[in-house]
Amino acid sequence: MTDTDDDGDLEARLVEQESFEPAEEFVSQANVSDEAIYEEFEENWPHSWTRAADLLDWEREYSEVLDDSNEPFYEWFPDGTLNASYNCVDRHVENGDKNRVAIKWEGEHGETRTYTYQDLYREVNEFAAALRDLGVEEDDVVTLYMPMVPELPIAMLACARIGAPHSVVFAGFSADALATRMNSADSRYLVTCDGYYRRGDALDHLQKANEGLAGVDHGVDATVVADRLGDDGFGHDLKGNQHAWDDLMDDHQGDRVDPVERNAEDMLFLMYTSGTTGQPKGVKHTTGGYLAYTAWTSHAVLDLEPEDTYWCSADIGWITGHSYIVYGPLALGTTTVMYEGTPDFPERDRLWEIIEKYAVDVFYTAPTAIRAFMKWGSQFPERHDLSSLRLLGTVGEPINPRAWKWYYQHIGNEECPIVDTWWQTETGGMMVTTLPGVCTMKPGSAGPPLPGIDARVVDTSGDEVDAGRAGYLTVEKPWPGMLRTLYNNDERFIEEYWAEYSDPDADEWVYFPEDGAKIDEDGYITILGRVDDVINVSGHRLGTMEIESAIVGVEGVAEAAVVGGEHEVKGEAVYAYAILEDGYDGDDEMRDRIVAGVEDAIGPIARPQQVIFTPELPKTRSGKIMRRLLEEIANEEELGDTTTLRNPEIVEEIQNKVE
Ligand code: WT7
């Protein structure tokens, strides 16, 4: 992202300022305000991680913090047992907080639902009983294909209660994407929803779910359908093994299910994410390490207290929502806000209206949203009283200094620290960010690694680079929230994350997140973006291979290459280059078919911004597509070296076609 001059009403004095101190008022109340914590973690590592584990109630205390006898298959708190649903629900009820609000839900039309911890306890138990009754057993993977309705976290916690890992599939993904994930996880149970609202329209979600089910290779034992639309529904009849959520809850009214004692290393959930191949990766997270890590980072970085009203505007269909709408905040007994709709419905002040209405204390969002807010202008937040806010956060992609400062001035009133949190689906929780009660903030830079996190910036041979130089981000010690493997694919797990920088003969295991980064004299890390064939659209990870295989699946397309081009709001947008078979024209109809092909295979989020038809792609003499060049063309940048091309003349031809 480049900083442009037309993006807002940022105060001139802030433009030049390079660092910011957290306000004394914030520091004096912060959960963590002593910088000694960095040293403490280092000196006592890995024992220091008991600090995170101590935030949980264990059924059987662990006697060992880390078992690293089978690297890189690390085990955390391996002989401890616990239940995540118990930790997020029951214990708050037992501790006298049953009337505290757990979830405040707001629908797009402004309707609200409030669940106290007691309400959540009741619903989670009843749904856990219903799942059992449908035949779900411990370790069965239950797929949850649901929009932002309260039934989603209830279903997640019900799964956790009976020890059935969930696999949440983002509701915006297509039927094909649902089928791929159910097939990969061998999942025989689906919980879904009739539909939901988007910018005023009711969307038919069940139709899509049913199409997806038709593509599941194995038998599906049962589907549960929650009712979101009521009379606005599309009137699909439920089939033989499909059950209405409300009927099941009626049947199990008052039922209680004892939380199953899970080993710390037992799987809590699977989350599919894009990689460099066409096949999404099933990232496996476990019960003890993941829950301890999300609770700890919610405490130390988001500064959450049980009294807080906290809002993360992500979708639960992504890891951000798992870790920081559901598990972290609920483990701490906080009130977590859920909003169904978009930020611009009915007007562009919707988020600020919600913050004012619920007196939100801590707000966590994505840079892409902030760039949209900036474009819309500060008059929208100015309509509302945002003085309840104490802390702001961002996640998903780099935030440019100008957007950071706009957020700081117009949303935080220059009083709220901002945490720019770098992490990934695979890391489970935040890894590189300032501690808001301790650190100076430098807009544009995420900050130092969290205590206990050994993140470094290295060159291609694994040596640390000098301050100011670009290199690759690595993590050289394990941490409790890390993925344990890729589902059913230990080999790919090692290949994707450990092969690059580890030296197995020397027993040195280094995690490689596939991000470029640089580090400054103070150890602050600035993330430069992905170095693999993954693009980041509005903070969501998309594999170029997945999109390419969708495009070549369209009749008449011979070859395709997809790259990310810069986009003012989305960060990156999809640029698709397509070569057609003889007899096909690169006309509007072809373009529409390609766009539809991508939407069917993945979902609207992957829709190409531009489709560029070309007779050839720039290739090296060995026949590899030169993606760097395609990126430069998409970004209208000056082109780098083209001398190694087999077909240099094609470059100008393509350049002329990009709008
Ligand atoms: C990729 C992970 C973590 C939840 C959302 C995305 C990029 C994430 C930042 C940040 C710069 C960031 C990285 C990372 N990323 N946070 N604060 N600054 N880049 O999860 O889909 O697993 O994507 O998002 O490139 O590798 P994800």
Number of structural domains (the chain) is 3
Q: Pick from 285, 293, 424 the residue to mutate for probing ligand 1's pocket: most ligand atoms within 8 Å of its CB.
A: 424
Distance 513 CA to ligand 1 centre (A): 10
Give the residue, by CA position, lying nearest to ligand 1 atom 1.
424
**Phi/psi-derived region of residue 138, left when phi > 0, alpha when psi is between -120 and 50, beta in every other case:** beta
C-beta 147 within 6 A of ligand 1 = no
Angle between helices 175-185 and 205-214 (to 10 degrees): 50
Assess whether the C-beta atom of 407 lies below 6 angstroms from ligand 1: no
| DSSP 3-state of 153 | helix
So what's the pLDDT on residue 46?
98
Q: Which domain holds residue 159?
A: 112-260
Indicate if 251 and 320 belong to the same structural domain.
no
Return the residue whose CA atom lies nearest to atom 27 of ligand 1. 424
What is the model's pTM? 0.94
**Residue 266: inside a domain:** no
273 lines ligand 1 (CB under 6 A): yes
- Ligand 1 mean position, distance from CA 373 (Å): 20
368 Cβ below 6 A of ligand 1: no
Cβ 543 under 6 angstroms from ligand 1: no
- For residue 276, being part of any structural domain is answered with no
Ligand 1 atom at shortest distance from the alpha carbon of 529: 25
298 lines ligand 1 (CB under 6 A): no
Is the minimum distance from the CB of 365 to ligand 1 under 6 angstroms?
A: no
Cβ of 315 closer than 6 Å to ligand 1, yes or no, is no
Residue 536 CA, ligand 1 centroid: distance in Å: 8
Residue 627: what pLDDT? 85
Do 481 and 562 belong together in one domain? Answer: no
Determine if ligand 1 sits within 6 Å of the CB of residue 320. Answer: yes
Judge if the beta carbon of residue 493 lies within 6 A of ligand 1: no
> Distance from the CA of 486 to the center of ligand 1, in angstroms?
18
Q: How far is the CA of 388 from the centre of ligand 1 (A)?
A: 28
Residue 74: inside a domain = no
Find out whether the beta carbon of 515 lies less than 6 Å from any atom of ligand 1: yes
Supply the CATH number for residue 191's domain: 3.40.50.980
287 and 252 housed in the same domain:
no
Q: Which residues, 6 or more positions from 60, have their beta carbon under 8 angstroms from its beta carbon?
A: 79, 80, 81, 82, 261
Q: 155-176: per-residue pLDDT in tens? A: 999 999 999 999 999 999 999 9
Task: Give the per-residue pLDDT at 533.
Answer: 85
| Ligand 1 near 420 CB (within 6 A) | yes
Q: Quick one: 479 and 546 in the same domain?
A: no
Distance CA 310, CA 319 (A): 17
Tokens of 585: 């024209």
Question: For residue 153, which of 296, 290, 337 has the smallest C-alpha distance?
Answer: 337
> What was the pLDDT predicted at 276?
74
Distances (CA, A) of 464 to 282, 459, 461, 469, 501: 31, 6, 9, 10, 12
CB of 527 sitting under 6 A from ligand 1: yes
- How far is residue 509's CA from residue 511's CA, in Å, rounded to a whole number? 7
425 ligand 1 Cβ < 6 A? yes
Cα(322) to centroid(ligand 1), Å: 15
SS3 content of the chain, % helix, strand, coil (to 5): 30, 25, 45
Q: How many CA atoms lie within 13 A of 84 on its CB side?
A: 38
Residue that is last in its domain, among 221, 245, 260: 260
Quote the ligand 1 centre to 383 CA distance (angstroms).
31
Q: Could you tell me if 426 and 297 lie in one domain?
A: yes
Distance 397 CA to ligand 1 centre (A): 5
Name which residue sits closest to atom 18 of ligand 1, judged by CA. Answer: 398
CATH number of the domain to which 384 belongs: 3.40.50.12780
Q: 419 alpha carbon to ligand 1 midpoint, in Å?
A: 14
**Which parts of the chain sit beneath pLDDT 70?**
1-8
Q: What CATH number corresponds to the domain at position 571?
A: 3.30.300.30
Instruction: Examine the domain organization and report whether 521 and 563 are in the same domain.
Output: no
Amino acid 8: pLDDT: 67
Quote the ligand 1 centre to 524 CA distance (angstroms). Answer: 17
Place of tokens 């880390």: 66
Asked if residue 459 and residue 320 are part of one domain, the reply reads yes
CB atoms within 10 A of CB 156: 29
The rounded distance, in Å, linking the Cα atoms of 298 and 303 is 6
Q: For residues 521 and 554, state if they share a domain.
A: no
Token digits for 56?
Answer: 């949980």
- Under DSSP, is residue 222 helix (H, G, I), strand (E, B) or coil? strand
Task: Find tokens 């170095």 and name the residue.
Answer: 531
396 lines ligand 1 (CB under 6 A): yes
Q: Is 274 in the pocket of ligand 1 (CB under 6 A)?
A: no
Atom of ligand 1 nearest to the CA of 540: 21
Residues 302 and 391 in one domain: yes
Q: Provide the pLDDT for residue 366.
A: 96
**How far apart, in whole angstroms, are the C-alpha atoms of residue 251 and residue 145?**
23
Measured from the Cα of 274, ligand 1's closest atom is 21
**Number of residues in the chain:** 659
Which residue has the least CA distance to atom 23 on ligand 1? Answer: 424
Interval between CA 539 and ligand 1 midpoint (Å): 7
Which residue, of 226, 260, 294, is where some domain finishes? 260
Atom of ligand 1 nearest to the CA of 534: 25
Same domain, 552 and 457: no
pLDDT at residue number 625: 84
Say yes or no: 488 and 553 in one domain: no
Are both 202 and 288 inside the same structural domain? Answer: no
12 lies in some domain: yes
